[in-house]
Chain A
Amino acid sequence: MKPIELESICKTFHLGDTLVKALDKVDLCIDRGEFVAIIGASGSGKSTLMNVVGCLDRADSGQYRLEGQSVRDMDRRQLADIRNQRIGFVFQGFNLLARTTALENVMLPLLYYRGSLPAGKARQRAVEALQRVGLADRMHHEPNQLSGGQQQRVAIARALVNDPAIILADEPTGNLDSRTTLDVLALFQELNDSGITIVLVTHEADVAEHARRVIEMQDGCIRRDLLIANRRRAEVTALAGRRSS
């Protein structure tokens, strides 16, 4: 069962009087454990693809199966539960809650978890997720006390905390300098090595080179889909703080 299966997905936006085909019959399969980078110019449809895959938006037509489950006929609240339990989001702007500690930010998805989860267990899972991203020693810091890279790692811990099928990262390095970009990419590679499926949207070619597979979008279609034989490994030296924890 593949985490993501898209069949001729179409999505059209109305911009004034003109119709913009953001996605034009996109077919895409992503296997378990893949690290996929989606690249393309702005307006190529990559963000729309990301929103559809992340169940934030619905396709106009086509079939989307997430872990074999069709999401086409789900209502808003079912989609919310899918986002909560199957998908981890990492955004360009980190999107952490201000004046809320790292730990509380990571625990946020567990707040909306429908199953039974005792408070102690929820906290423990959040601490474990922060340990995975090497920020266990900063869990009581608020976002404005953390660097950009650290904030993004908190966001990644938040994406991990519900043990999702895939992590969707939308321009996760867009707001970071080149060194912390490498930190974050190294973390993604490490998580990918441990078996987590990652889909990363970027417009930077050298970021995409860290993935195993690169999909290039253009005008709402997939123009190229290629596997990278010799992908770049990100330097992890910059993450010294993480190792020591």
Chain B
Amino acid sequence: MKWQKLIVVALRSIARNRLRSLLTMLGIIIGVASVIALVALGEGSQADITAEIDSMGTNLIIVVPASADRGGVRGSAGSSTSLSLDDAETIKKEVPTVANVSAEIRLSEQVVAGNSNWNTSVRGVSETFPAIRNYQMVQGAFFSERDVKAKAKVAVLGQTVVDELFGGQNPVGRRIRIRNVPFQVIGVLGEKGQNGMGDDQDDVIMVPAPTALYRLSDGKTVRGILVSAATPGQIAEAKAQVTTVLRKAHRLRDGQENDFSLRDQSEISNMASQVTGTLTLLLSAIAGVSLMVGGIGVMNIMLVSVTERTREIGIRLAIGARSGDILLQFLIEAVILCLCGGLIGIVTGLGTAFTLGQVMGSGVVVNPSVILLSVGFTLAVGVFFGFYPARKAANLNPIEALRYE
């Protein structure tokens, strides 16, 4: 017996009990629809979250000097003075996967403005710093490349410093003194609040890196170089390239240890992917449970159908259907029920996802592999839950089946 004929026979018997078939499919429809909708919405919001994390600067790579080693006494990480402002320039010029580079000099200074003073963190950075760390300006402007090159005595203040030194008034154009060096305030950074460690990120003054290094510091201690990779996917590549370039710049021979080390914020992206993994697992579990419930519904109806059609099976057996023909007929019927349910479910699920996405304003990502997977899964459910009733039908005794009332 040919497949097309079997499919026609199965379709006809499904069409004969339209309402029942639809209700049977409903379990599968709801299962598949919820999976498709949840995954589409889940991946959509995940994409939103990833975009947000990226905006926080996950592409960030921090280059720090290795620990100093003076006669066997090792200092803390970053205590050596192996990095220089030139290294930052070299990285910017020679590493193609890098978007922005900024040296960072960190000092803790007593700052005076008029008759108030305040101890705060003074950082020497490049003009690219706001782009790397996603700082916004609320007043004035950040210093320019020219200011950096000219070792200009300009400063940009964090909100906490503005509050402490100027009582919250606009400080742009005013003067402050750091280590008795006068600086002109040219801008105020937007508030960032506390970081993960509880440090106040607004208690800071930004000055051009060379200014900090040569006017406020010892002229050689560069605390680190901030590098942002062009995309999150290029972090590993950028790290490798930065390492190569710096080794060359520091004239390190093969076998010699790096006099610097690289850090990135992979923990954040790891955490994000961990959350995603948990979400996916949860969705799969929901999918599994709802499809199993749907499958049991299909099996139930198929058993009813076999009992109801005992006489028909008897007739078919009497006029020459083999057991295998009957088995296939009912199996195909179950599979078609499930597949139809699956297809309706996919359409419903996508519709729901787009509608909800519109309403909630979150993104929707249609993943073809999830759709393929759910089709495959419904197929498997059909075969699995259809097999028992189909075998029951195929093993009927034709004489008893014919007598069945």
Given A77-B322, A80-B323, A81-B322, also A112-B311 (CB < 8 A):
no
A91 to B319, CA, bound (A): 11
Given A97-B315, A108-B316, also A91-B402 (CB < 8 A):
yes
Map CB proximity to B onto A35-72 as digits: 1 under 8 Å, 0 otherwise: 00000000000000001001011000000000000000
Given A51-B399, A112-B316, also A80-B16 (CB < 8 A):
no
B398 within 8 A of A: yes
**B312→A97 contact, CB < 8 A:** yes
Map CB proximity to A onto B24-67 as digits: 1 under 8 Å, 0 otherwise: 00000000000000000000000000000000000000000000
| Chain A minimum-CB-distance residue to B317 | A80
Most chain B CB inside 10 Å of its own CB: which residue of A77, A158, A162: A77
Q: Which single member of A54, A77, A111 contacts B324 (CB below 8 Å)?
A: A77
**A85→B320 contact, CB < 8 A:** yes
Given A51-B399, A57-B399, also A112-B321 (CB < 8 A):
yes
A162 to B398, CA, bound (A): 19
**A111→B323 contact, CB < 8 A:** no
**A56→B399 contact, CB < 8 A:** yes
Chain A-chain B contacts (Cβ-Cβ < 8 Å), number: 59
B317 neighbours in A (Cβ, 8 Å):
80, 83
A56 neighbours in B (Cβ, 8 Å):
318, 398-399
**A111→B312 contact, CB < 8 A:** no
A162 to B317, CA, bound (A): 15
**B319→A76 contact, CB < 8 A:** no
**B16→A95 contact, CB < 8 A:** no
A143 to B399, CA, bound (A): 22
**B322→A99 contact, CB < 8 A:** no
**B16→A112 contact, CB < 8 A:** no
**B399→A83 contact, CB < 8 A:** no
**A95→B322 contact, CB < 8 A:** no
B398 neighbours in A (Cβ, 8 Å):
56
What DSSP secondary structure best describes chain B's contact surface? helix
A173 within 8 A of B: no
A113 to B312, CA, bound (A): 18
B312 neighbours in A (Cβ, 8 Å):
97
**A76→B322 contact, CB < 8 A:** yes
B325 neighbours in A (Cβ, 8 Å):
112
B1 within 8 A of A: yes
| Chain B minimum-CB-distance residue to A119 | B5
B323 neighbours in A (Cβ, 8 Å):
76-77, 80
Map CB proximity to B onto A80-92 as digits: 1 under 8 Å, 0 otherwise: 1111110001010
A109 within 8 A of B: yes
Measured between C-beta atoms, what is the minimum distance from B367 to chain A in Å?
41
**A112→B320 contact, CB < 8 A:** yes
A89 neighbours in B (Cβ, 8 Å):
318-319
| Chain B minimum-CB-distance residue to A105 | B315
The count of residues in chain B whose C-beta lies closer than 8 Å to any C-beta of chain A is 21
**B320→A80 contact, CB < 8 A:** yes
Q: Which single member of B16, B314, B320 contacts A84 (CB below 8 Å)?
A: B320
The count of residues in chain A whose C-beta lies closer than 8 Å to any C-beta of chain B is 25
Map CB proximity to A onto B209-245 as digits: 1 under 8 Å, 0 otherwise: 0000000000000000000000000000000000000
**A95→B315 contact, CB < 8 A:** yes
A83 neighbours in B (Cβ, 8 Å):
317-320
**A112→B322 contact, CB < 8 A:** yes
B321 neighbours in A (Cβ, 8 Å):
80, 84, 111-112
A57 to B9, CA, bound (A): 27
A91 neighbours in B (Cβ, 8 Å):
318, 402
**A158→B322 contact, CB < 8 A:** no
**B319→A158 contact, CB < 8 A:** yes
Measured between C-beta atoms, what is the minimum distance from A124 to chain B in Å?
17
A205 to B312, CA, bound (A): 31
Measured between C-beta atoms, what is the minimum distance from B390 to chain A in Å?
16
| Chain A minimum-CB-distance residue to B398 | A56
A109 to B316, CA, bound (A): 8
A25 to B76, CA, bound (A): 106
**B319→A84 contact, CB < 8 A:** yes
| Chain A minimum-CB-distance residue to B16 | A99
Q: Which single member of A51, A95, A108, A109 contacts B311 (CB below 8 Å)?
A: A95
| Chain B minimum-CB-distance residue to A76 | B323
**B319→A108 contact, CB < 8 A:** yes
**A112→B318 contact, CB < 8 A:** no
| Chain A minimum-CB-distance residue to B8 | A111
A158 to B316, CA, bound (A): 12
Measured between C-beta atoms, what is the minimum distance from A101 to chain B in Å?
11
A76 neighbours in B (Cβ, 8 Å):
322-323
| Chain A minimum-CB-distance residue to B2 | A111
B315 neighbours in A (Cβ, 8 Å):
95-97, 108
- B296-342 interface with A by 8 A CB criterion: 311-312, 314-325
- B268-322 interface with A by 8 A CB criterion: 311-312, 314-322
| Chain A minimum-CB-distance residue to B324 | A77
| Chain A minimum-CB-distance residue to B321 | A112
A241 to B359, CA, bound (A): 68
Measured between C-beta atoms, what is the minimum distance from A96 to chain B in Å?
8
Measured between C-beta atoms, what is the minimum distance from A83 to chain B in Å?
5
Q: Which single member of A51, A57, A81, A95 contacts B320 (CB below 8 Å)?
A: A81
Measured between C-beta atoms, what is the minimum distance from A43 to chain B in Å?
15
A82 neighbours in B (Cβ, 8 Å):
320
7 A-B pairs with least C-beta separation? A84-B320, A80-B322, A109-B319, A112-B320, A77-B322, A83-B320, A112-B321
Tell me the A residues contacting B by CB distance below 8 Å: 51, 54, 56-57, 76-77, 80-85, 89, 91, 95-97, 99, 108-109, 111-113, 158, 162
A-B contact pairs, 14 of them (CB 8 A): A56-B399, A76-B323, A77-B324, A80-B320, A80-B322, A80-B323, A84-B319, A95-B318, A95-B402, A97-B315, A111-B1, A112-B322, A113-B320, A158-B319
Contacts A85-B320, A89-B319 known; 5 new A-B pairs at CB < 8 A = A77-B322, A84-B319, A111-B5, A112-B1, A112-B320
